[in-house]
Amino acid sequence: MDFSVTKISESFVKPCEPTPCNTTLPLSSLDKFPTLRATLLETLLVFKYGQEPEKVIKAALSKALVHYYPVAGDFSISDQGELEIVCNSRGAWFVEASVDCRLEDFNYLDDPYVIPRHYLIPQPPHVVEDPTSIFFAFQVTKFKCEGFVLGMRTSHLMFDGVGGAQFLRAIGEMARGYTQPSIPPIWSRAEMPIKPQFSLPNSSPMPLPPPPSSSALMTLQRKFIDIPPHQITKMKNKLINQKCSTFDVLIAKLWRSKLRAIKTNPDVLVQLAFVVNARKYLSLEGYYGNCLYMKEIETSCGKVVNGSFSEVVELIQDAKRGLASEFSAWVSGGCKAKDMIMKYEKLIVNDWTNIRFEDVDYGWGPAMSMILVEDVPALPSCLFTKTPKMPNGVRIVSSCVREEHMEEFIKQMNDFDD
């Protein structure tokens, strides 16, 4: 289908009131970890209706930045060689665009690739040498039907998923007439006890580009897989006298499907890792920086591919049961950082189903859907989000197998009788 996207305006949006300026703020050691500080998360929110959304959201962003003023800053290097935030009110990047078609012409982006992402994601200004120095960017793209798509590029140095959603909610609240965010933001990066769990050979304080070697060698393929609620229930019903969550059965299904698809030697040790929001262990309401813990499970490939589905779920549940004590030991220095080994057999899973980016309301109700459109990551990984059209279903954004293994991987994922 032919269409045309027109960029109408672009500028930095500054806080609408004076904020602390010419001051610096420290980052946590986790924020400064190279694979986080070089990552820009790119997402789309699809809205069926909005009245002058570019004006409303731009004004609300300006108000929210008063409370989140570090987001309007830049990074610098301290005299000690440490990466830090300089508060200079440069602003967040904002782009207004329009499309000469209706959202329904694209089935409301049910196919995330129907419009190339560079048309909908804000591109950094040419005057900025390092795109990672812009911590937050918005693009409001209006369609002829009065619907719009909100494209976002957020820095993982500034936010994790929970923190980014908190900031978006604050913008929505400003758009709806709030004078203060319902969750007051806190910085507290210097007091953050979580340290990186993995070590890398390069310890340069400046942001690094994503490692090209691993993704180039793995050539991972992205696939969107929607799991309907009745299939989730079917997997749970297999587990007699074993209570489990949707996360438990989906991660077990993914792990088995991937390893069966790539036909790993049964005797090889394989690793599964899943991301944990550590705020519940630290009582940090309002913290919007990186507050993540990576839980790893290691076992033989044979136990995953040849064992029963119930046994794989039990492996995951055992790992979850020991999280609190393991996290406490890590914070107290009882564990050493591990080398980050980029193996094809590895799988990293992150669950965004409870973050609910799509619930953000700018005055016209929540979004129809949230779509992740960033580059395929360097490590084999999957992200869980809500499905656009199936309540209680889960969309898996999969980037965990090569092209030659994709057909078998999808076959395994669609087999719910095993």
Instruction: Just list the catalytic residues.
Output: 156, 361
Farthest CA pair distance, the chain: 62
Which pair of structure tokens corresponds to residue 331?
């914070």
Query: Residue 231 — φ and ψ, nearest 5°?
Result: -75, -35
Separation between Cα atoms, residue 418 and residue 412, nearest integer Å: 9
Structure-derived torsion over alpha carbons of residues 204, 206, 207, 212, reported in degrees to the nearest 10: -40
Contact 74/82 with Cβ under 8 angstroms?
no
Distance CA 33, CA 208 (A): 10
Surface-to-core class of residue 359, CB atoms within 10 Å of its CB (0-12 exposed, 13-18 middle, 19+ buried): middle
Contact 41, 374 (CB under 8 A): yes
Token look-up 């420290």 returns 26
Q: Is 358 exposed, middle or buried (0-12, 13-18, 19+ CB in 10 A)?
A: buried
Label residue 263 exposed, middle or buried (CB < 10 Å: 0-12, 13-18, 19+). Answer: exposed
DSSP 107-127: GGGSSTTSS-GGGTSPPPPTT
Q: Give yes or no for a contact between 141 and 97, defined as CB atoms under 8 angstroms apart.
A: yes
Q: C-alpha 91: how far from its chain's center?
A: 22
Query: Which residues, other chains included, contact 148 with Cβ-Cβ below 8 Å and sequence gap of 6+?
Result: 47, 50, 53, 140, 141, 142
